[in-house]
Structures are given as C-alpha cells and as structure tokens.
Structure 1
Amino acid sequence: MASSTSSSSSSEVKIISESFIKPKTLPEKSKESYHLSPLDHLMLSFNYIQKGLLFLRPSSDDATKPKDFMETLLQRLKDSLATTLDHFYPLSGRLSTLKTDNPRSYSVFVDCNNSPGAGFIHAKSNLSVEDIVGSNYVPLVVQCFFDHHKAVNVNGQNMSLLSVKVTELVDGVFIGLSMNHSVGDGRSFWNFFNSFSVIFNSQEEDLFCLKNPPIFREVSGPLCRLPYNPLNKSLRSHSESPVLKERMFHFSSETVRSLKSKANQDCRTTTTMISSLQSLTAVLWRSVTRARRLPNDQETTCRFAADNRSRMDPPLPTNHFGDHVSAAITTAKTSDLLENRLGWAALKLHQAVTEHTSEKIASELEQWLKSQPGTPFYINPNVVHVRSSPRFDKYGCQFGMGKAVAVRSGYNSKYDGKVAAYPGREGGGSIDLEVCLLPEFLEALETDQEFMSLVSSSSS
C-alpha cells in the first residue's frame, strides 16, 4: 500500500494502522474477468481520484469518549465498506493483463479473485478542523489525508483500486477516498461514496436495497485490444507539477442565478439554455486570462469534463459504472474573450458541450487507439480545466457526525488552471470552485475587483 506524501507536512499526519477490506460476499459474476473499456484504458496514465469530507467530531466532556468514539467509528466504517464492496465489487480487485497472440494484443481487466481487497488506513493528526478550513487557501497537509499520493492508475496492478483513509483530528475526522480513475469516473466515485454513507447509516445492512446500485457492463462484451501492454510501468503521462497555490472560492446561489441570467441576456436567448456552471466558468475563464496577462493574439483554452452517459446511442443510465467522461473543449483569442461580453464566452462553452456528441467521442477514442503509446499528456499552459460537478451529492454523505464541514481533494494531477466544482455547503444552487494556479496568477486573480466582487464568504 502506498504511503502518504513525503513532504514536510506529512509529519503532521501519522499512520496508526493499515489493513485491507474484502467484500462480505463476492457476487458470482466477480469470478469472471471485468475488462476495462477503451475509455477506461485511456485513463491508465492519469492519477487516482482523491476526494474527501471533513467532519466535526461530536463534542464530549468525558475524556474517555473520544477514544471510544473513534474505535466505534472505525469498526463501523470497516463493516460498511465490506458491505458496500459487495455492490461495487471491482473496487476490491487489482488490475491485470490478458495477452493474446496472432496478432499479439493486450487488454486490461480487474481481477477480484487474487486481491487482498480495498485499503483501509487509520491516521492521526494534531491539527484541528480550523487549521484546514480557517483560511481560503487549501493547506498542503490536506494531501496527506489520502492514500496513494501521486499514484498513477497503472499502479493498480500492485496497489488497491480503492483506499479509504480516516484521519483523526483534534476535533474532527477527515474521510478521504482514493479510487483508481481507470475503473470509474467522478460520477461512479460519488455513487460509491453516497452508497457507503447509506450503508453506514442503515440499521439492517443486509436487508436494504440501494436506490442507485451500480450497473456494470456485460463481461461477455468485445474486448479493447491494444498492440502494447498498457500496464508497462514506463507509460507515464504526468510530469511533476510546479509549486501551485490552491484556493476555495464560494459563490452564493443568488450570485450564480444572477450570472446565469446575465449570460443568457447577453446572448439574447429566449430560453435559459446556458447553464449556471457554464456562466460561472465563463467568468472564471475571463478572470484567469486577465490574471495571466496574456498577449491579445494569444489563444486560451477552456475545458469541461463532460459526462458521456446521456450522449451515448443508446444513452446509458446515470448509475452505469466506469469511465464515461471526456473533455468538451473551446478556444478563443485573449482579445476576443476579454473584449466581448460574458455571454459571448458562456455561449462558446455551451456550444462546446452541445457539440460533444457520441460521434465526436467515438472519433476521439479511435484517434487515441491509433496513437503512439506513452505519449505525454500535454497540458496547455493557458488552460482553465473544470472537473467534478456541483450536481454530485457530496454533502449527502454522512457518517454519524452530521453534515460535512467541507469537501477537499488530494494531489490528483493538479496543475496551473485546474479547477474542481463542488456544491456549496448551504445548497440552493450555490457553488464552490477549488482553483489551482501558479502563485503569481492566483495573487493577480485576488486583486481582480470584477471577479472578487462575486465571491462571498463560505459557510465552510
């Protein structure tokens, strides 16, 4: 099992115990190989998904109760994890390769029969909840709240595809999940997290039914065959990130509604076709571009992580497990982006999402399958890339400590311009943006009066 980050901040988080958790009862279908799809294969050179929730621990005047509370919590989490893995059985396995000859080809599958299970870590820190959320900036130590730090999905042949790290704080608990991105995307991740919570809170774990049980592809379907071994350890796509600053920006529901209305009015649309997230992303794209002080003739790119399920022919259900996400991309010259109204940028984003069809997705996949293996993943230096979604029910995950104080993420391929969108803690359509930028660009963004006038205080 991979250890936590080796940075100096790791000294603030000490591992108490490590173990593996197997499903209570592996389903019969787990005995068959669960092969990855072409899009799953594409994600092998990326980092694990790392998202977690910060909770305040119930207060107590009895000095013996905190220890009892943690012991009870940890055991219930382990028991609930085992039951949840019954439903999400591939997450208990390891990656392996099927090799065929004439012609030689390789396909990656999940082997659940030769695996010790999912990882489970108990860690402890002398930090408080306030140390984590007391500043708008995300402290580097948060990366220590996740297992598999900087791990690449290819490593899933040797390490767990899922790891739960529970860090005990002075007055709180952080539950961080690391999931192999070649097995599932953000929607699959949060379906697992929500199911984990539902099972934890169930009084009779063995007698209930999940409302959104994962749907898996047929194991008898056609395999994705590649002319090279995609689990070759030399296939890496991410170089070490430069020093970045990370800040949470909160936008109230009123601000989000106002921006959506303005974007649609700018486009003189009769319907509200431009969404809230597209409108807010347009604001951020323009603001970050100003902060970077790009030349007028320089191109800048905005990328959306788009869910492909509804775009497939026929469409897939929202709880279909696996990787069904790819990027909807639009570009613009700096002068055009900044001299036109907000609606101009928002409309370009809307068009990129609208044009992200099943035919386009299939064409991009075909091009990748024909590409040279191990080609480095290129990050445009002038990009704003929005991932995750405020539509995921992140604050619905509760583990006996009430509603989470905040959502935070781990290392997970962070680079200049990467943004994660979360629902605001108070709900109602509010949105939090986790923005990663080079320090000089973030400082410039914080002095942008137009942008900062839209930012409000967060309840977290």
Structure 2
Amino acid sequence: MAGEFAEEKKVDDCVKILSTGNVKPKKPIGKKECQLVTFDLPYLAFYYNQKLIIYKSEDDFEGIVQRSKDGLAVVLEEFYQLAGKLDKDEDGVFKVVYDDDMEGVEVVAAAAEEMEVAELTAEEGTSKFKALLPYNMILNLEGLHKPLLAVQVTKLKDGVAIGCAFNHAILDGTSTWHFMSAWAQICSGSSASVATPPFLDRTKARNTRVKLDLSKPSDAPEHAKSASSNGDVAAKSLREKVFKFSESDIDRIKSKVNAGTGSKPFSTFQSLSAHVWSAVTRARELKPEEYTVFTVFADCRKRVDPKMPESYFGNLIQAIFTVTAAGLIMSNPIEFGADLIRTAIESHDAKAIDARNTEWETNPVIFQFKDAGVNCVAVGSSPRFKVYDVDFGWGKPESVRSGLNNRFDGMVYLYPGKDGGRSIDVEISLEDDALKRLEKDKEFLMEL
C-alpha cells in the first residue's frame, strides 16, 4: 500500500488526493448486459447521486482503504452492474453492460487531516462536502464513458469520510442502501458474501423497449447542462439546511395532524410531509392563488403487478404529485395537506403506474428539475433506510448526508436521525430568503 500513497495531488486547500485506482469483482463474471427500462431512463440527464458517510475512527488509514477495496471486490461479484458502463444496442435502446475487461469502480484515497468529524457533522449546508465527494456535476449520461460508481475514502483528523457517487440511471435509493449495507457487512467481517443478492433482471418490472435520441453527454438537453445544483445556487441563491426532529418532535407532529380526524390515522411520513409542506409554503410567502405541488419519489416495488422483491436492483420509483392553492394550505388545518398527500399516494396503484409508464413510452421526456412541480416540495430518500447501520468495521456513522448534486428549490431528503427511534433528519434546499424565514418559524421547529 505504501507505493499507492507515494504521490500526492492537491484538489483544494484542505484535501489531497493520495491515490486513484479501480476495483473489479474479485472473480471473473464474463460478459453481462441488462436493458434499462422505463423506470430508469428518465434520469439519464440528472446527475450522479451522491452520498457522504462520516465516521469517527482511529484505525490505520491505509488499512481502512485496503479493507474497503477488498470488500468492494467481493460485493461487486453480485452487484457487478455497478462495475460496468452504459451502452446502447443496435436499436438505440440503453442498457448496462459489464465484461471482465472493464476498469470497474473508481476508488480514490484522499486526506483532509485538518478537518475534524465534528466540523462535518455540524455542517448544515453542503459547502464543506464538495472535495470529499467524487463526480460533482457529472451527468448520468456520462456513464457511457465513466464508471457507474465512484468512491472517495478520505482520512480526517479524527476519522474517515466515505463519499460515493452512483449513476442514478441504474439504481434508486433502496438499491443504493442495499449495496452499501452488503459492502459494509463484508468489510466488517459479519458476512463473507452478499447475504441477499440483488435481483438484476429489470425487464421483469417493465419490458418495453424505448429508444431515446441521446448518444453522448454533449447531446444532453440544455436543461441538463444548465440546471445544475450549483447553477441553481447562483441563479436563485439556493441554500441547504438539515433540520433534526427528535422522536418526541415527530410524535407531537403526528399527534397534531391526527387530532382533527376520526378516520384512518395519518402515517408518520404523511404527517411530517404535511408539516414540511405547510411550513415551506409559509416561508415562500406565496400568494393565496398561487399553486404549490407536493411530490414524493415513491418506491413501487410493492405497487407494481406482479410485485417485485425488495432486492430488485435498479430504479423502481415514480414521482407522485398532488397540487393545491397556497391559500388552501395556509387557511386549512394541517390535516388538509396530509389528506391530499395520503390520497395521492394511496391512489398510485399498479394501474396508475402502468398508465404513467405507457404515457411516457409514447412520448419519452428526460426529466428536468422543474418537472417536480411549481413551488414544489419534492421528497426523496426515506427514514426507513437503515443508513446508521452501515458499519464497515470501524464503528457506526456519525453523520449521513446527500451530496451537492440534484438539488433544486424545494428538494427534501429524509433520513433517520442518528439518535434512532422515530427521529428524522430533514435536509431541505430552498431559496435563501425562504430558508431564512423557515429557520425562524417556531411552529415548524416545534418550539411552540
């Protein structure tokens, strides 16, 4: 390992690249390919989906890097699609391909030895994360030429940061955390192989062949080049913040939302979503007649017919929308918004999913950020993902965050809180003035 760390390259004032390499599956796989399906294709002009996990650790850093690589080589025997590339067949249909001659996953070792874990866990925005994450502002479409997964392992003053960039055209959040959990279990020695192998045949969920008129990153739609998270930051002064809701906060929110209804109670997700939607609408100071849209990127594994296993590897999410006037959100009790959200979610069954897919296949449109809806609150990720159980052998995470990519005004990521139980962290990206008002909203912050 010493040779690998011999040459240093500075990427900014605090982070140095120590080595760059690639990891392939430990055993030969041969040639494999799988067609991308309707659930995958709309994300081609989004950006790689980034996750950053921060750990406290006094372990030898070279040992950590080697253990990470060794475990990655084993887990990729099952998750080999992540070691492949995007390609198109003779009909122009996108697919993910793998063969043993490909370079595999890109792995970078870096050092930021003046940066402390506490500094990163206290970071409410994302400004300190950029140099800890690979593939900032890289389009998923560039997976035609770049690895579909890039990893950066960074030595901190008192810990380690693992930054990952996943090509969003080939997997969603459920698949991401399935992979991360399996990788960590192998690294920690709690499992010698992948306990639950991924279900890799996407065509079981949808087998329509869709040709898209895209061939290389430069052909991406103009919105994909300009509607970047950083571009939005410049244009709209976008800012991010994590709001941490304790278990008691969540219970109080849920009790409040359910106080005015004698029917079926609203779930934690529906209650928290209504709480966030209402507060963001206030913070934006929308006119009563202005529309506001709530969007949730919902897991469809148990909604499609036939149902797909939890281990289905790919994108099996679909955006579910509901819209109303801002004045109705503001003038009605909070259960009004919760009921709109619940109705939209419950009505999105196999028939609705199939109709949406059929409509898209008739006129394929690559998603733009604005497609989430006007004055939107768009919720991704899930507090159900057991992100704080991702232990590579040097302890559980101190913090789990999304990266800089794919952020826009109204994007919300939900994670379980580090304290466990029913605590939830809410990452919100908003225009700066609206976020300032949200930060002072005692009702939203549960300070009333």
TM-score, with length taken from structure 1: 0.88
Q: 1:14 to 1:424 in 2, by over 3 A?
A: same
Q: Which residue of 2 aligns with 1:109?
A: 95
Match of 1:234 in 2: 219
My pick for the range that moved more, 225-234 or 182-191, is: 225-234
Q: Name the CA shift for 1:349/1:218 in 2 (closer, same or farther; >3 Å).
A: closer
SS for the counterpart of 2:115 is coil
Deviation of the 1:420 alpha carbon: 0.3
Amino acid at match of 1:244: L
Which residue of structure 1 lines up, in the alignment, with residue 271 of structure 2?
279
CA contact (8 A) 2:57 2:394 kept: yes
Shift of 1:197: 0.7
- Gaps of at least 5 residues in structure 1 are 1-7, 59-65, 101-105, 456-460
For 2:332 and 2:374, locate their aligned partners in 1 and report how far apart those are by CA, in whole Å: 22
Q: Distance in 2 between matches of 1:227 and 1:250?
A: 41
Equivalent residue number for residue 54 of structure 1: 54
Is 1:440 the counterpart of 2:433? The answer is yes
2:390 is aligned with 1:403: no
CA 1:382 to 1:169, structure 2 compared with 1: closer, same or farther past 3 Å?
A: same
Distance in 2 of aligned mates of 1:232 and 1:19: 23
Q: Which amino acid aligns with 1:429?
A: R
Once the two structures are superposed, residues 13-68 of structure 1 have per-residue CA deviations (whole angstroms, 9 ceiling, x without a partner) of: 222111110001144xx52322111211121111111112101123xxxxxxx6xx
Q: Distance in 2 between matches of 1:259 and 1:203?
A: 38
Aligned to 1:12: 14
- Residue 130 and residue 232 in structure 1: after superposition, are their counterparts in 2 closer, same or farther (change >3 A)? closer
Count residues in correspondence.
Answer: 426
What are the residue-to-residue correspondences of 1:148-297 with 2, within 5 Å? 148-202=135-189, 205=192, 208-210=193-195, 212-217=196-201, 222=207, 224-226=209-211, 228-229=213-214, 231=216, 233-236=218-221, 237-238=223-224, 239=227, 240-242=231-233, 243-269=237-263, 271-272=264-265, 274-297=266-289
The residue aligned with 2:66 is 75
Distance 1:338 1:360 in 2: 29
The correspondence of residues 443-454 of structure 1 with structure 2, limited to 5 A, is 443-453=436-446
Q: Which residue does 2:4 correspond to in 1?
A: none
Q: 1:419 offset after TM fit, Å?
A: 0.6
Instruction: Please give the TM-score of this superposition, normalised by the length of structure 2.
Output: 0.90
Percentage of matched positions with identical amino acids? 31
Q: Is the 8 A contact 2:143 2:167 kept in 1?
A: yes
Q: Which residue of 2 aligns with 1:317?
A: 309
The Cα of 1:261 is off from its aligned counterpart by 2.7
How big is the shift at 1:167? 1.2
- 1:346 Cα shift? 0.8
Q: 1:351 offset after TM fit, Å?
A: 0.8
| TM superposition shift of 1:377 | 4.7
* Cα gap change, 1:377 to 1:365, in 2 (>3 Å): farther
Partner amino acid for 2:338? A
Unmatched segments (≥5 aa) in structure 2 = 1-9
One-letter identity of the residue aligned with 1:241: D
Distance 1:330 1:219, change over 3 A: closer
- Secondary structure (helix, strand or coil) at the match of 1:309 reads coil
Q: Deviations over 1:420-458 (max 9, x none)?
A: 000011111110001111111110111112112259xxx
Deviation at residue 328 of structure 1 after TM alignment: 1.1
2:114 paired with 1:120: no
CA deviation map 1:83-140 (0-9, x unaligned): 010110100001111123xxxxx111122115200111111112111221235x2241
CA deviation string 1:273-314 (max 9, x = no partner): x21011011111111110110001111111111001100111
Structure 1 CA distance for aligned equivalents of residues 170 and 202 of structure 2: 15
Q: CA deviation at 1:391?
A: 0.0
Task: Name the structure 2 match of 1:103.
Answer: none
Runs of 4+ with deviation above 3 angstroms: 8-11, 218-223, 229-233, 372-377
Cα pair 1:97 1:231 within 8 Å, conserved: no
Name the SS of the counterpart of 1:121 in structure 2: strand
